[in-house]
């Protein structure tokens, strides 16, 4: 059941969720990591650009990581990621939001330096129940190739 | 005491910390947001590319947000951020690490569309006690200008 590099082809990969986010989770994350008033205080949030209590952008990213894990990373021969090449917060995460995560494969190629490893570049977009995009990120993932694939094909 | 756009000039801004990270915090974050074996299981982590238990990259980003808050965002007329233009995980976050955050101002300019708002682009680098860089991110922050600054200067 484990997904390897060979299972990732450019194009739409899947849509995962819903993942429910509570007010308590938003407040707990903000208290620990991002205690800015717009993430903790309803009144201050109403006066901010966010127009009401909104989760930290880093909370949303962390939730997207969990949705990726539940959606496919948890059953993928994943070896981690060197970073994120693009990360945009587009609309506020609200208490009670039910999120979906759309995953698109932008590119899948074998690593030049490590022929047993594939680099799968994904674009992840989280959306609320209205379909509004909240956050978009593009990230390379390192995924192991199927056993023997490197020897068979000599890289590609 | 509130910092406004006028307080941010290109160049080194400050070094903040230390911020201690415990094994319990690493495990708790991983269990909630990123339950990959290398973030939860010592034995699996030893066999992974990370070579031992390591915190989630998203945990490190969230800790860096907290260090920014404690270092200067908490006393800055900050209006949030539209995203991150570059994010690289360079070395593993380990249990017991004492982190420092180096903040450099890359650019500070007035918003074209909103003359009361400045855009301050920061480069944040988190380092462990050995000085090894763990994560680097470049991010634009929206910061309010000093009251009356837009009228005085008519933008710039």
Cβ-contact A28, B63 below 8 angstroms? no
Assess whether pLDDT exceeds 50 at residue B61. yes
Closest CA to B21 of B43, B53, B48: B53
Give Rg (Cα) of chain A: 18
Assess whether pLDDT exceeds 50 at residue B138. yes
Assess whether pLDDT exceeds 90 at residue A150. no
Output the pLDDT for position A43. Answer: 93
Output the pLDDT for position B152. Answer: 62
Mean pLDDT of chain B: 94
Q: Do B61 and A58 touch (CB under 8 A)?
A: yes
pTM of the predicted protein model: 0.94
Beta bridge partners of A126: A101, A135
B150 vs A130, residue with greater confidence: A130
Mean pLDDT of chain A: 94
Whether the ω angle into residue B18 lies within 30 degrees of 0, i.e. cis, is yes
| B67-79 average pLDDT score | 96
Which distant-in-sequence residues (6+ apart) come within 8 Å of A114 by Cβ? none
Which distant-in-sequence residues (6+ apart) come within 8 Å of A122 by Cβ? A13, A103, A104, A105, A106, A138, A139, A140, A141
Q: How far is B19 from chain A, CA to nearest CA, in Å?
A: 12
Q: Do B86 and A88 touch (CB under 8 A)?
A: no
| A126-149 average pLDDT score | 95
Which sign, positive or negative, has the C-alpha torsion A83, A86, A91, A97?
A: negative
Output the pLDDT for position A151. Answer: 63
User: What separation in angstroms does the CA of B152 have from each of B4, B111, B113, B147, B148?
Assistant: 15, 15, 17, 10, 6
CA separation for the pair A117, A4 (Å, rounded): 9
CA separation for the pair A40, A143 (Å, rounded): 38
Q: Do A61 and B56 touch (CB under 8 A)?
A: no
A12 vs A151, residue with greater confidence: A12
Chain B interface, Cβ < 8 Å to A = 29, 32-36, 38, 48-50, 56-59, 61-63, 65-66, 69, 73-74, 78-89, 142
Q: pLDDT per residue over A90-123, tens digit each? A: 999 999 999 999 999 999 999 999 989 999 999 9
Of the candidate ranges B12-16, B42-46, B92-96, B103-107, the one whose mean pLDDT is the lowest: B42-46
Output the pLDDT for position B122. Answer: 98
Output the pLDDT for position B79. Answer: 92
| B7-13 average pLDDT score | 98
Which sign, positive or negative, has the C-alpha torsion A9, A11, A17, A22?
A: positive
ipTM of the complex: 0.94
Chain A interface, Cβ < 8 Å to B = 29, 32-36, 38, 48-50, 56-59, 61-63, 65-66, 69, 73-74, 78-89, 142
What is the band of B151 on the pLDDT scale with cuts at 50, 70, 90? low
């Amino acid at each position: 059941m484990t997904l390897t590099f060979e299972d990732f082809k450019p194009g739409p990969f899947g849509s995962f969720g819903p993942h429910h986010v509570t007010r308590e989770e938003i407040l707990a994350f903000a208290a620990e990591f991002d205690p800015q008033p717009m993430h903790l205080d309803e009144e201050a949030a109403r006066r901010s650009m966010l127009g009401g209590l909104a989760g930290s952008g880093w909370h949303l990213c962390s939730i997207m990581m969990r949705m990726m894990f539940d959606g496919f990373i948890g059953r993928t021969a994943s070896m981690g990621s060197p970073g994120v090449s693009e990360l945009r917060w587009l609309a506020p995460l609200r208490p009670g939001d039910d999120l979906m995560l759309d995953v698109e494969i932008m590119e899948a190629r074998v690593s030049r330096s490590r022929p047993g490893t594939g680099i799968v570049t994904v674009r992840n977009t989280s959306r609320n129940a209205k379909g509004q995009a909240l956050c978009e990120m593009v990230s390379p993932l390192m995924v192991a190739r199927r056993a023997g694939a490197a020897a068979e094909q000599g890289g590609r």
